[in-house]
């Protein structure tokens, strides 16, 4: 398996996840708990690392986050969400 990394971030969805989480007024812990209820293994540290770009995100995790926020995976991957924070 080849992993491509530009040296600054291990994923491109971090900013989108953070913006969507804030738009839904959820803490990292609350988001992780909701994803756990959907059957996924997320915790608050996982969410933090995704948002910071320091954690690789598997394809099924991208789909889980897209499903939870009711957006497309393409929108997550293309960082189409803005935040004022």
- In the chain, the number of structural domains is 1
- Is position 44 within any domain? yes
Which run of H or E residues covers position 17? Answer: helix 14-23
User: Per residue of the chain (85 residues), what is the pLDDT tens digit?
Assistant: 555 555 677 888 999 999 999 999 999 999 999 999 999 999 999 999 999 999 999 999 999 999 999 999 999 998 777 654 4
Specify the DSSP element, H or E, that contains 46: helix 44-52
Q: Is residue 63 part of a domain?
A: yes
Q: 51 lies in a domain?
A: yes
* Cα separation, 54 vs 20, whole angstroms: 18
Q: What is the CATH number of the domain that holds 33?
A: 1.10.260.40
pLDDT value of residue 80? 77
Establish if 60 belongs to a structural domain: yes
pTM of the full structure: 0.84
């Amino acid at each position: 398996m080849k992993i491509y990394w530009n040296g600054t971030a291990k994923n491109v969805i971090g900013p989108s996840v953070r913006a969507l989480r804030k738009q839904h007024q959820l803490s990292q812990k609350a988001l992780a708990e909701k994803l756990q209820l959907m059957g996924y293994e997320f915790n608050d540290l996982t969410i933090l690392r995704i948002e910071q770009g320091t954690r690789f995100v598997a394809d099924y995790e991208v789909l889980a986050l897209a499903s939870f926020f009711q957006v497309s995976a393409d929108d997550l991957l293309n960082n189409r969400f803005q935040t004022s924070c």
